[in-house]
Amino acid sequence: MSVSVRMVVRTGIVRDERYLEHKPGHMHPEHPNRLKAVYRMLDSSFPFGLMEIKPEPATLEQIELVHSPSYIKKVLKTADHGFTSLAPDTPASARTYLSAWLAVGGCLKALDALISGQCEACLSLVRPPGHHALQDRAGGFCIFNNIGITARYAINRYELQRILIIDWDIHHGNGLNDFFYEQKDVLYLSSHDTMLYPYTGDWEESGKGEGEGYTINIPIPRALKDRDFFHLYHEIVGAVTRAYNPQLVLVAAGFDAHYEDPVGRSKLSGQAFKWLAHLLLDLRADINHPPILLILEGGYNPRALASCVKEVLDAFKSDGTWERPSLEDVEQGDELVRKVRRIHGKHGVW
Ligand SMILES: [Zn+2]
């Protein structure tokens, strides 16, 4: 039982119409309609009470925190061309570079707002997404690694020493995994389906050198249900959070594990994300209230995506009372919990 006392958290939101200007094509899943649906939901369900953060483009120096100058130049070269390609699955339109620059800039501005105390939690509702972007390569619809840059920025600018990244997108965030694999100031925890792109993130990939044990990869089965998913997060993220005591929590908030998602092929519903949001806020209250920044990743059914974001925001705007799911009959979740503990027990990190 949690004894934490929660209050309504002051919540910020990053949104901007210029995120719609990245147009990868009518048939592409990462379509501007995703964000249009989310923004429409915000206007109808949350007309008041969210602090709006206006993004500015990131600086070159900030993007170079994770990306190589030659790759950044490659992205810039797509400017003003009708339709080019950064990777086979990641096309660019004339103003894609601007959306990508602003996606990073919006996340950094959200972090500034969190650290300065203007808000306690923030949702960065940006595109293109980022967790697959590598140092010198786009892929998986991602161009710049929004979260990777934000974590490095938090270390450099604010001298943070313990950043927890939780990646609940159904795809493995290979970019994040790689950037922080040998560091212990960033603990990366991801649950994902390894049968999907980019087919990485196996159990035994758990960090190296100083970072050994600070990468936690949890492959999950496609049929995993809401309560098993919640049980997994409750047990593992609960233990990790209490042991690691993060000064900042970043969430790679993808919603493509939803059962209506055309890409994720999984079985979760919106309530799983509501429970996760409540769980994070309860854990936050237990460990001295670190700021929480959720950054949008996947989610390719616009209607399902908007409703999942609403579930999360409802949790953030609530007074902290919520009905926890029953944890009877969660064998699949239990099996996962046991396996994570068995593999990570030897590292002694949590
Ligand atoms: Zn995804």
The string of pLDDT tens digits covering residues 20-57 is 999 999 999 999 999 999 999 999 999 998 999 999 99
Taking the centre of ligand 1 as the mean of its atom positions, its distance from the CA of residue 116, in whole angstroms, is: 31
Encode pLDDT of 142-193 as tens digits. 999 999 999 999 999 999 999 999 999 999 999 999 999 999 999 999 999 9
Q: How far apart are CA 206 and CA 217, in angstroms?
A: 7
CB-CB contact of 176 with 250 (8 Å): no
The mean of the pLDDT values for the chain is: 97
Q: Tell me, what's the pLDDT at 8?
A: 87
Mean pLDDT within 206-229:
98
Taking the centre of ligand 1 as the mean of its atom positions, its distance from the CA of residue 271, in whole angstroms, is: 18
Taking the centre of ligand 1 as the mean of its atom positions, its distance from the CA of residue 252, in whole angstroms, is: 9
**Residue 347 catalytic?**
no
Helix (H) or strand (E) holding 241: helix 226-244
Q: Tell me, what's the pLDDT at 112?
A: 98
CB-CB contact of 281 with 9 (8 Å): yes
Entry pTM = 0.97
| Cβ within 8 Å of residue 166, ≥6 positions away | 189, 190, 237, 249, 250, 251, 252, 280
3-state secondary structure of 6: coil
Phi then psi for 267, rounded to 5 degrees?
-125, 10
Catalytic residue among 22, 31, 132, 258: 132
Q: Tell me, what's the pLDDT at 6?
A: 81
Largest CA distance in the chain: 56
Q: What is the DSSP string of 269-318?
A: -HHHHHHHHHHHHHHHHHTT---EEEEE----SHHHHHHHHHHHHHHHHS
